[in-house]
Amino acid sequence: MSGAQAAAAAVQVAGGVALAPLVPGLVQSAKARLQGRRGASPLQPYRELRRLWRRTPVQPEGAGPVYRAAPAVVVAALAVCVAVVPVAGQAPPWGLGSDALALLGLLALARVALAVAAWDSGSGFALMGSARDLTFAVSGEALLALAVLVAALPAGTTDLAALGAAAAGAGVWGEPAHWCGALALGLVVLLETGRQPIDNPDTHLELTMVHEGPLLEYAGRDLALLQWAAAARHWVSLALAADLAVPHPVEAWPRLAVLAAAIPALCLVLAVVETWQAKLRLLVVPRLLWAGAGIALLGLVSWYAGSGA
Amino acid sequence: MTVQAAGALLLGAAGAAVLLGGHAVGGAFSGEIGPAVGVDPLSGAFLVVIGVVGAPACLFARGYLVPDRAGRAVGALTGPFLLALASVVVARDATTFLGGWELMTAIPAAAVLIARRQPAVRRTVFEYLAITHLGGVGVWLALLLAAEQGSLGGTSGPGGATRAALLALALVGFGTKAGLVPFHAWLPRTHPVAPAHLSALMSGVMTTVAVYGLVRTLRDWAGPPSEAAGLVLLALGAVSALGGALWAAVQRDLKRLLAFSTIENIGIVAAALGAWLVLAAHGENGWAAIALGAALLHAIVHAVAKGLLFLGAGALERAVGDLALDRLGGLLRRLPWSGGAMLAGLIALAGVPPLAGFVSEWLVLRSVLEVPLSGPLGPALAGALVLAALAAAAALGAYAAVAVAGLVLLGPPRRPECAEASEAAAPMRSALLALAGIVLALGAAPGVPVDVLADLAPGGLEGAGVAGLVVPGTGRLPALALAGALVAVALVARLLRGTPAPPAPVWVCGQARSPRLGWTAAGFTKPLRLTLDALLRPAREVEVIAAGGLVQEVRHRAEVPHPVEAYVYRPVARAALAAAEVARRIQSGSLRAYVAWLIGLVLALLVAVRLWGGA
């Protein structure tokens, strides 16, 4: 294992596990500044995790083993996601593969586990949020598959390490397909992180909540695990976006440096989008995602029409 | 029934031996008229499916069937049904194949008629026989055409228009039996009314045998792979997957929902077969072989999971009676073994890791994705659209699986029978657990079957090792390691959770929790119906009965109509009835008139032969 590979693996694990809560913290604090508030420090998610970790979980009456197991399953799905998405184009050395389409299944596992737990507790708010989440997933999975396809066009593979390598350098930005793919990926990031205009992470109002709904009944360590998973989802999405849709050099060490700059920059972008965009009506969200899928298809057409490859 | 189960197991074992041995046993295909049987690796793969699902189904029937006259008759018909399925797979000439095919259609119809005597069921069986026989014409013509052209014996391949006709006929014929949209209308009606173990065999195995017919025709009888046929299959597969998943999600009866989900999964298989043909036509042999392996793996996984779920539905039917989704609930607590097995089947159907459904869907998606990566613009765009449709169908399948798990197995019991249900009898339980074990094993080690199945493609898989799903051109999917990592992290997280405080009531805005606040199937899929109303066109009727300015009662009725029935089948049926009305005028009842008709027909045929049949 070369030095760069070891460093990338270390960043992948440390970033995904320890730095992940910093990502939503950064977005929230940047958003507060943009809106003229002082806001909490970017370290606030860590404080919340510490507070929740000290408390025992309380579970609703009548909930069974499925409800109890769900936070652990969600954490496992996201932890494996962290292990599968490489940083700086170095294929991770722990034998879990690094395939883009595997992410589809892992994210679906997290979603399904929470939805099944919602049925187990029978909580109306949890079911409402889960039903909405699953509805968005219909167009969301199609969008993610097409985004992967457009990213795979130059590489000819769905290996995330190779996809990142194919997106390196300046030449790829001359392809309209790459711009379309980046746009589609941006929508995927908004969906997976549950940010405005798709979902509002600050609200607990039942009329609008999506991702917060299934978390409503959880408390204590259960909630801490789920909040870590939400933060890891932010990290995975942004690491993916940084690898595929942010200009970066080919070599590993400079790429790590670019990543260190790109993640805070993408947090800022998310904060700007949140400040500038109101939340969409629930029923309009799938249309936005289908539009993203259409953009990805346009990218495919331009790839074949343009280069004749 | 025990003997039948043992026989089914033997069938499966024989199939596995041939599949792994890689050599054909018995006769080769011949275009002659005269019975011939034999097994080659492709037939072996499907024999394995028949055995693996058939044996638990027979075992299940031991506990499920009531030992009265009707029950014994249905039990006695199960064995012949399995043999008919096997005879289609091992037939090596057209007559045996077609004989087996007809028996395979007729036996379950007879069993359903014996088991259920309601007029509505009779009507359903009539529709089943009518549609599958009309579609079956395609199978007959395709087989006879192939025999006539000599491609059945492998002496020569058909060409030109004959080949196109053969492909189209096979697609309609086998597609009807497999339940591809728009030939599927019989499937969601028939599968729910059959006794549970026959539902499992029909939905799990019979549709898979139809897939066998399709694969056999495309691989061996229809000459070199045709891109056009591949694109048609991709389109039919995408429409079936999306339509089946969508309609499944809005059903309110457990068995009907499972039947629609069969349409979805057969659609996924058909799309993978389409990818196989397109990739093979483009000369991408390695990926074509993987696509065929993906299609077969998904067909096998679906057969096992769907068999498991239909048997589970039968166990629940025995425990609580009615299977309307809104009137079940809480059954995992009452039937931990059967319910747990069903949960495994549902997770496989949802296509989430670490079970078998995820692996096969991943492989299908990846091989369909290869179409837009390799092809010129036209096929590439088609492939991308199909990829998006399959991804959306996977999400919809997960939606439906969650709804079933929640409404049937979890939450509070929604009627007294569910609160007092007791675990299924030992034979039923063990059949379910055996199938659940297979779902787990396939999810953990999918590389082994894929390696063998991909070798069934013409030319086989050269050099590219698929074991453990290390497919070149992907980031690899080491299924066992992924499953291990998932389980390990989940266990650690579960242990870290600590001991919980005593339970507290669920938050319902401060009200007391009452059963009336519970969620229904319709409520859970409401966002889906609202966002996709352009596709689903739900019908809704609200009637407010007011008296003296006070609302006395609000009646609400909502249903999702089935557009294919309304816009395709009804006009066809109406036209057929109108044509029958016209034809009836010829039937005067006079013998002399009939003789005159016959003489006229013979004369016309003779003239036709004289004029055009000279060569």
pLDDT tens sequence across B312-365:
999 998 888 888 888 888 888 888 999 999 999 999 999 898 888 898 999 999
Q: CB B506 to CB A61 under 8 A?
A: yes
Residues B321 and B416 in one domain: yes
In whole angstroms, what is the distance from residue A25 CA to residue A19 CA?
10
Q: What pLDDT is recorded for position B345?
A: 94
Q: Which of A100, A108, A152 sits opposite B351 (nearest CB)?
A: A108
B379 CB-near residues (< 8 Å, 6+ apart):
B227, B231, B278, B282, B371, B372
Q: Which long-range contacts (CB under 8 A, 24 or more apart) does B116-125 make?
A: B116/B193, B121/B193, B124/B189, B124/B190, B124/B193, B125/B190, B125/B193
Q: What pLDDT is recorded for position B467?
A: 46
Q: Which of A105, A158, A283 sits opposite B353 (nearest CB)?
A: A105
What are A147-181's pLDDT values in tens digits? 999 999 988 888 888 888 888 888 888 888 899 99
What is the number of structural domains in chain B? 2
Decide if B323 is inside a domain: yes
Expressed as residue numbers, the domain containing A127 is 3-307
What are B265-288's pLDDT values in tens digits? 999 999 999 999 999 999 888 888
Q: Is the pLDDT of residue A296 over 90?
A: yes
**Structure tokens, B389:** 């449709």
Mean pLDDT of B510-525: 82
Q: Which residues of B touch A148 (CB under 8 A)?
A: 369
pLDDT band at A235 (very low <50, low <70, confident <90, very high): very high
Q: Which of A56, A101, A300 sits opposite B365 (nearest CB)?
A: A101
What are A270-295's pLDDT values in tens digits? 999 999 888 888 888 999 999 999 99
Q: Is the pLDDT of residue B16 over 80?
A: no
Residues B483 and B602 in one domain: no
In whole angstroms, what is the distance from residue B178 CA to residue A95 CA?
38
Least confident of A35-44, B429-438, B517-526, B546-555: B546-555
Residues B482 and B587 in one domain: no
Residues B481 and B576 in one domain: no
Residues B591 and B482 in one domain: no
Q: What pLDDT is recorded for position B157?
A: 65
The DSSP 8-state label assigned to residue B510 in this structure reads T
Q: Please answer whether residues B58 and B4 qualify as being in contact, where contact means their C-beta atoms are separated by less than 8 angstroms.
A: yes
What is the number of structural domains in chain A? 1
Q: Which residues of A touch B481 (CB under 8 A)?
A: 95-97
Decide if B12 is inside a domain: no
Residues B249 and B359 in one domain: yes
Nearest to B110, CA basis, from B7, B11, B198:
B198
Q: Is the pLDDT of residue B375 over 80?
A: no
Residues B325 and B412 in one domain: yes
**Structure tokens, B568:** 């395709």
Q: What pLDDT is recorded for position B605?
A: 92
Q: Which of A61, A132, A149 sits opposite B387 (nearest CB)?
A: A149
Q: What pLDDT is recorded for position A307?
A: 62
How distant is the alpha carbon of residue A266 from its chain centre? 12
Average pLDDT score over chain B: 86
Which of A141, A160, A284, A287 best probes binding to B when mutated, by most B CB atoms within 10 angstroms? A141
Helix axes A44-53, A22-34, angle to 10 degrees: 130
Decide if B258 is inside a domain: yes
Q: Is the pLDDT of residue B33 over 80?
A: no
What are A184-225's pLDDT values in tens digits? 999 999 999 988 888 887 776 666 788 888 888 898 899 999
Q: Is the pLDDT of residue B132 over 80?
A: yes
Least confident of B86-100, B447-461, B593-607: B447-461
Q: What pLDDT is recorded for position A60?
A: 87
Q: CB B503 to CB A109 under 8 A?
A: no
Residues B247 and B354 in one domain: yes
Q: Is the pLDDT of residue B466 over 60?
A: no
In whole angstroms, what is the distance from residue A244 CA to residue A238 CA?
10
Q: Is the pLDDT of residue B462 over 80?
A: no
Q: What pLDDT is recorded for position B3?
A: 74
Q: Which residues of A touch B331 (CB under 8 A)?
A: none
Which is more confidently placed, A119 or B539? Answer: A119
Q: What's the alpha-carbon Rg for chain A, to the nearest Å?
A: 19
Closest-approach residue (CA) in chain A for B518: A122
What are B215-253's pLDDT values in tens digits? 999 988 887 888 899 999 999 999 999 999 999 998 889
Residues B452 and B574 in one domain: no
Q: CB B380 to CB A222 under 8 A?
A: no
Decide if B21 is inside a domain: no
Residues B362 and B455 in one domain: yes
Q: CB A217 to CB B347 under 8 A?
A: no
Q: What pLDDT is recorded for position B459?
A: 64
**Structure tokens, B218:** 């495309």
Q: CB B474 to CB A101 under 8 A?
A: yes
Expressed as residue numbers, the domain containing B585 is 563-612
Q: Please answer whether residues B202 and B194 qualify as being in contact, where contact means their C-beta atoms are separated by less than 8 angstroms.
A: yes
Average pLDDT score over chain A: 89
